[in-house]
A and B are shown apart, each in its own frame.
Chain A
Amino acid sequence: ETGVTQTPRHLVMGMTNKKSLKCEQHLGHNAMYWYKQSAKKPLELMFVYNFKEQTENNSVPSRFSPECPNSSHLFLHLHTLQPEDSALYLCASSPLTNRQQQFFGPGTRLTVL
């Protein structure tokens, strides 16, 4: 059983909707990540949080807004998305000093109509 959970697992939304993705890790890690995975593309790192402080934002459009209230929870708030934002959104966590060994959640498959 994964130590990283994500909800919802599937989400369909219109371009004018506002929704949030939730991630929770039970591994005691201090680093959490949001990735986007689209067909025929490598995993794209979106945001990184270390000790609930954002340390990386890889030129992600402002329609994606992350929030990390504590080291165990991570949210991705979505608003006015575009159809090309449809993808699998993966959350991951790792020890702060071992970022190579990331544990992923099952992902949220997002479809924007």
Chain B
Amino acid sequence: RKEVEQDPGPFNVPEGATVAFNCTYSNSASQSFFWYRQDCRKEPKLLMSVYSSGNEDGRFTAQLNRASQYISLLIRDSKLSDSATYLCVVSGGSSGGYQKVTFGIGTKLQVIP
């Protein structure tokens, strides 16, 4: 089983729609979770952290389900500018004495006019 799994998509949604992505992780000892966004032909950028109680940032809501070992990202009222690849990032365990950080393959979102 992959350490971090995501559906690569693409998810094609109309403007204004609500869309949700899930990401599953295999290491139950994972401690921190994040969503990064990567625009086409650009570098990944941190979008938001994912807290145990869930958190919201404008139209974006992130949730963590430790029992089922997945995190989710919900985007409401999709905009054309939301079109990008969303990378799930999981941190935990040890690598070289420091926390190990693992990136998922990313889920591609295309918002259609």
Contact = CB atoms under 8 A, between A and B. Distances in A.
Interface in B1-33: 4, 8, 32
A68 to B, nearest CB: 14
Interface in B61-113: 87, 89, 91, 95-99, 101, 103-106
Interface string A89-113: 0100000100111111111000000
Given A100-B89, A100-B91, A102-B101, A43 B44 contact: yes
A107 B106 CA distance: 17
B97 A106 contact: no
Interface stretch (A13-21, A48-56, A70-78): A48-56
A40 B105 contact: yes
B43 A42 contact: no
Highest count of chain A CB atoms <10 Å: which of B34, B44, B95: B44
Question: Chain B binding site: helix, strand, loop or mixed by DSSP?
Answer: strand
Contacts of B95: 48, 56
A107 B43 contact: yes
Contacts of B89: 100
B45 interface: yes
B42 A106 contact: yes
A100 B99 contact: yes
A113 B34 CA distance: 36
A2 interface: yes
B50 to A, nearest CB: 11
A42 B105 contact: yes
Nearest to B105: A42
Contacts of B101: 45, 99-100, 102
Contact of B32 (A2, A100, A103): A100
A55 B97 contact: yes
6 nearest A-B residue pairs (beta carbon):
A104-B43, A55-B96, A43-B103, A42-B105, A100-B91, A56-B96
Interface of B: 4, 8, 32, 34, 42-46, 87, 89, 91, 95-99, 101, 103-106
Given A55-B96, A101-B34, 16 more contacts: A31-B98, A40-B105, A42-B4, A42-B103, A50-B96, A56-B95, A56-B96, A96-B98, A100-B89, A100-B91, A101-B46, A102-B101, A103-B46, A104-B44, A105-B43, A107-B43
